[in-house]
Amino acid sequence: MPSESEHEAVIDRFINAVEQSLDPRAKENFRMPERMCLRMSLRACGLTGYPDLVGDPHGERCSGEMVCEQCGKLYYAHPADWRVIGYGDVPFLNVLCNGQRVKL
């Protein structure tokens, strides 16, 4: 089992890769608060990155009050999917532990 510092290093690499994949306009909105939010939501759900896609890639409409079957956290607690950028150059889907994308 990886140590906490190794776990954090994996999350750091993932967040840096997300930032590098963004187009310039979305990258402007991916500042320290967004990075911290992504890190905290990944930690809260026990993730080190986005799981493989399951279901509709455009996301399903759901209540943020629903509970994830895998981690037991509310859908609101799950990380935003920075690979799908919407209006205002910010993400609008959340990634659940099983890989499902949801629009809250």
In this prediction, residue 76 carries a pLDDT of 96
Which pTM does this prediction carry? 0.90
In this prediction, residue 18 carries a pLDDT of 96
- Judge whether residue 2 has pLDDT over 70: no
- What pLDDT, in 10s, does the model give residues 5-58? 888 999 999 999 999 999 998 999 999 999 999 999 999 999 999 999 999 999
Residue 62 vs residues 18, 24, 44, 48: alpha-carbon distances, Å:
24, 30, 20, 23
In this prediction, residue 5 carries a pLDDT of 84
Strand partners, 103: 61
